[in-house]
Structure 1
Amino acid sequence: MLDKRYQVFITTSGKEMQPERMVVSQTLIGMGFFSWGLEQRTPLSTAFARRQIDDCDYVFLLLGSQYGEQSVSGVSYLQLEYIYAVTKQKPIIVFMHENPESRDESLQESKKELKDRFYEFRHQLQKEVEQVITYRTLRDLELSIRAYMPQMLERYPVSGWVRPQSIQSLQDEIDKLKSQLSQAKAQPSKAEIDPFLSLPRVTMSDTFSFDYRMHAYQDGNFKELNPIREMTWAELLKILAQEFNQAAPEEYFSKVLNQYLNETGLEDAQKQMPRAHAVSRCQINVRSLHLIKQQMRQNDWIVPVGRDERQRMLWKVTDKSSLVIKNSALIGRQTRII
C-alpha cells in the first residue's frame, strides 16, 4: 500500500480563532495530514496563500463570530481565500460555531457593519457549501474532524502526496493499471457494460434501508448515533424533487437528504435515547447516497443535464417522475376527500 499524505489549507478570521486553529492542526497531524495556513494576513501574503491553496488537497474554513481582518477592498482575507478555493474547485469543509452570540464579548465584532458582513458571509457559506459542520466546544470540533474527514477522502478522492521511497510502488501500480486497460480494450463487450445494469430494478413502492449518523441531545449532552431509516423510493423521490425540479448541483443530493433527516431524525433517536429532545448533524452513509443516485438515474427519475459555470454536474427530475409525483399527490388528495 502506498504511504500517501494529504495537505489541508486552514483559513480563519484571525487571532480570535487561534484555539480552534491549534485543535484542528493537531487533530489533522495526528490523523496523518499536513496542515497549512496563514495566521497573519497582509496584502503581500495574499499571493502566498493562493499558492498554498493551489497545492493543497482540501480546504478547512473555521468561522467563529468575527468577519475577520479586511483587505484593502474591504472584503476579509477569510472570504477572499474562500472565493479563491471555490474557483480552484477545492473540496471545502466549513466548521462554524453553533451560536456565535454565546461566545465571549471580546471575540465578537464591535462594529455593526462588520457584524452584518459576518452574518451575511455565514449565510452564504450555509447556502453554497455542502459540508457545513457546527460545533460548540473545542472537543466537539475535534470529534467532528475525526468523523467527517474519512468521508471527505471517500467522497472527494485526490492524488495526495507520496513519499519518494514509494515511487517504485506507484510505478508498479501504474504498470498494473496499464495491463488491466490493455485487457479491457481486448474485450470491448465487457467494457461497454452499463454499470447501472448491475443494480436491481425497483418500483416506487419498494423500500430502501440506509444508515446515517447523527448527534442526539439529551440532558445537556449529546451522543453520536447510527440509526437505520427505511423509506420507499416514492418518498425519496418526492423529497429530492423539491430541489431537483430545477437543475441543481449533484452535491444537493446529500444536502437535501441530510436536511430532511435533521428535520425528522428525532423519532429515530428516541428509539435509543427516549429522553432525546433534539438532533443535529445528520449525515447519510456515503455508499447509501451513491446507491440512491445510481438507482434514481437507472430508473430515469433524476438524470444529469449538464454543468454550471463552476463545472459542477447538474441533475434534474425527468418528466416521467414529475408526472408520477403529481399523480400520487392527486390520489392522496382524493383519498382525504373521500
Structure 2
Amino acid sequence: MEKKYQIFLSSTYRDLVEERTDASRVVLDLGHIPAGMEAFPASDTEQLRYIKKVIDQCDYYVIIVAGRYGSVDAGGVSYTQREYEYALEIGLPILAFIREEQNSSLDDGVYQPELLDRIEKLKQFRAKLADSRLVRFWADRKDLRYELARSLSHAFSDFQRVGWIRANRAASEDTISKLLETSNALARLQEENARLRAELAPSVSGIAPLGAKIDIPYTYSVYYRSGSLTERGILATTWRNIFVFVCPNLMAPVHVDAFGTLCEKFVTHSAGRISCDIGVAWKGQLKIQLIALSLVRSYQATMVKGGVAEYLTLTDYGKKVLMEVTVIKA
C-alpha cells in the first residue's frame, strides 16, 4: 500500500527562505508531504508548543543550518535548536544539512549574528549536528537540493516509518470489525482449549522428585558348566541417574520398546552385570514416573506398515532439565 511521509523542515527563517522553498519542492517531487512553520516561525514558548504538536505528526525531521543561530528563548537557546532537541527526544530520524564554512565576520551579510555570544552557540550547534549519523554539507542551493533528495530517498528505505495513506485505501471499518471479531473468537477458543487440557491432565500430588532414591529389582543369569541359574538383585539409584542415562536418547522420538531396552541397559551398566531383566511392570513404572515429572511425553503414531505404536520423547521442559544436569560448566 502506497504511503506518504510527512517531513518537518526546520531552519532559521530570514536567511534561508529560498532554501526552505527548495526543500519543500524536493519533498513534493518525491511524492511526500512537507511540514514547516514558514508562516509562523517560532518566536515564543507558546508557538514552540504548537510546533511540537506538528513534529509529533511527522515521520522525519530535516534541519538546514547556515550562518545564523536564530531567535533565542529565555534560556539563551535558539528555537530552531529547541525543535531539533525535541525531534531527537521523540526518536524521529533526523537529517541535518549544514552549509559549508565560509569566512565570516560581524560585517558579513548572511553570516552576521545579532549578538556576539551567538557566534559561539552557532559553532557548538553546528558541531553537534556534524556528529550526527545522517549529516550532509552543502555549498549552494543546487547542492542542497541534490543532497536533500538523495538523503531522503535513503532514509525512506533505511528508516521506514508509519506514514500516511488515503482513507479510501485503508481497511474499511467493516473489515477491521470482522478481523477484531475473528481475533476475539480465536482468543476464546485458545482459553477453552487450555481449560480442557488442564482438566484432562492428571492431578498428581506428592510425586517423588528427580533426586529421590529408588530401588529397582532385577534378575540376571549366572552360568555354570552344568547350566545356568537366575539370580535376583536390587539396584539402589535415583531418578536423576535414570534420567541422565536414558533420556539423551529421547531427544528424538523412540519406540516404547526401545525405551524399555534403554532402561535395562541402565540397570545392567549400574549393577555391573552382563545382562539384566527388570520386567514389563518396572519398564512401565519408569515410563510413568518420567511422564509424571513432565520430563517425557508419550504419543501414538501410525506405523508405515499399518497399525499404531507408542513413542516417547523429551518435553521442552525435559530438554531444559537435561541440559542443566549434563552440560559441562566452567
Task: Provide the TM-score with structure 2 as the length reference.
Answer: 0.49
Bigger Cα Rg: 2
Select the structure that is richer in helix: 1
Task: Provide the TM-score with structure 1 as the length reference.
Answer: 0.48
The structure, 1 or 2, with the larger RCO (C-alpha pairs under 8 Å, 6+ apart) is 1
